[in-house]
Amino acid sequence: MHRAAHERLQGWVERLASLLEGTRLVAGTLELDEMAVRVEQMTAQVVLHDRGILLARKSDGSLAPLRFWGGTPDPAATLSLAETIRANLRPLLLDDVTKSRFTPLVAGQRSLVGVPLLVESDCLGVLILTASEPGAFSREDQDLLFLIGFLSAVAYSNVRHHQDLKEAQSQLLQTSKLAAVGQLAAGVAHELNTPLAAIRLAAEGAQLKADRPDIVVKRLDKLRAATDQAQKIVSNLLIYCQGREAPTHQSADLNEVLDDTLSLLRYQLNQDRVELAVEKTELPAVQGNPSQLQQVVINLLINARDAVSGPGARSRRVRVRTWRGSSEVFLSVEDDGPGVPAEVVPHLFEPFFTTKPVGKGTGLGLSVSHQIVARHAGRLEYSDAGPGARFVVCLPIVSAG
């Protein structure tokens, strides 16, 4: 008798140890499907059975099978039994289903034990086990399964909270993205209004003076300038949007990017009497999108041109340099303009921030450039260069192999 009690106790200890190990596993995941698999594994370790079914409460309150094992149960019979357990908030033990008011969940499965998945008195689901032998489950099995039900309920509730959190997070992200797009759209609309008004004015002026070709030519000139301005805004905006995408992975040489940019700009810079000095050092390749990088160099050069052409410039000199460090390559654009006033520096890279006259600046150049360089895992930095301004692009070198 003493020995029987000892063995029984030993059995309990072993099952409780399995339960403990199972709990650790079930609690260790926040993925719903994985959690269901682990509940099945834990149950198999603790209560001998043939088939099982785990039902969970959906967001609309109804119960639905999350996982079943050993065979496909009859949906209607399963639901009616599960609803009974849910309503009573208590375990149900049937030695022989055929002798009860319930229908067997799977043909030939005679005994059954089912428990609610309770968190306090909230039922989050139901776990049911069946076996072909009548009277296969004991009170002990029922009690242990009841415990498994509690543990599964906590795990399921964690999974659900995690899902809710993820959902809320992605909604928040979506909202802030929408807000950013809205801001951008408002800015673009505002910016485009100026050249569009100028285009309209010039076109009307030309119409009115149709008999004066000299005036018409002047108006058409204005119209062209305003169209250029509108085009600049739109193309910057496109780059801004493309800049959000990861750059295409392509090997690029910053010196080549510079040469290509200068071939586009040299004429214009000459016309504006900019004295350009270029100093290149041989560079290793970087990873990126050459046309986006070109856009960065264009923006920096145009800004430098504007700076040396405006008031407060010491000379019309602009210096472009490339060099390499141990893990990065650098390109700097330095000008002899008036530099950036201290109160402007914090706003340099903000979209639509400009100190240039209406119709001249879009305030997108530096923010677009900053974004492009960041997408290339690099940095765009401003520093004081005496009174003038100095912008440096730093990009990581592609490691060999």
Place of tokens 């100095």: 390
How many residues belong to the site for ligand ADP (CB under 6 A)? 22
CA distance 369 to 379: 10
CB of 185 to ligand ADP, least distance (A): 18
CA distance 212 to 207: 10
CB of 369 to ligand ADP, least distance (A): 7
CA distance 241 to 243: 5
Ranked by CB distance to ligand ADP, the top (closest) residue is 365
Is residue 348 near ligand ADP by the rule CB under 6 A?
Answer: yes
Is residue 243 near ligand ADP by the rule CB under 6 A?
Answer: no
The Cβ of residue 214 has, within 10 Å, a number of other Cβ atoms equal to 8
Closest to 94 (Cα-Cα) out of 53, 128, 135? 135
CB of 353 to ligand ADP, least distance (A): 5
Nearer to ligand ADP, 61 or 357 (CB): 357
Site string for ligand ADP, 172-211 (x = CB under 6 A): ----------------------------------------
Site string for ligand ADP, 287-326 (x = CB under 6 A): ------------x---xx--x-------------------
The Cβ of residue 135 has, within 10 Å, a number of other Cβ atoms equal to 12
CA distance 39 to 42: 5
Residue-wise DSSP of 207-261: HHTTT-HHHHHHHHHHHHHHHHHHHHHHHHHHHHHHTTSPPP--EE-HHHHHHHH
User: Hey, is 22 helix, strand or coil?
Assistant: helix
Is residue 353 near ligand ADP by the rule CB under 6 A?
Answer: yes
Is residue 43 near ligand ADP by the rule CB under 6 A?
Answer: no
CA distance 165 to 350: 31
Is residue 366 near ligand ADP by the rule CB under 6 A?
Answer: yes
Site string for ligand ADP, 375-394 (x = CB under 6 A): --------------x-----
Nearer to ligand ADP, 389 or 395 (CB): 389
Is residue 152 near ligand ADP by the rule CB under 6 A?
Answer: no
* Residues at the contact surface with ligand ADP, assessed by CB under 6 A: 299, 303-304, 307, 335, 337, 339-340, 344, 348, 353-356, 361-367, 389
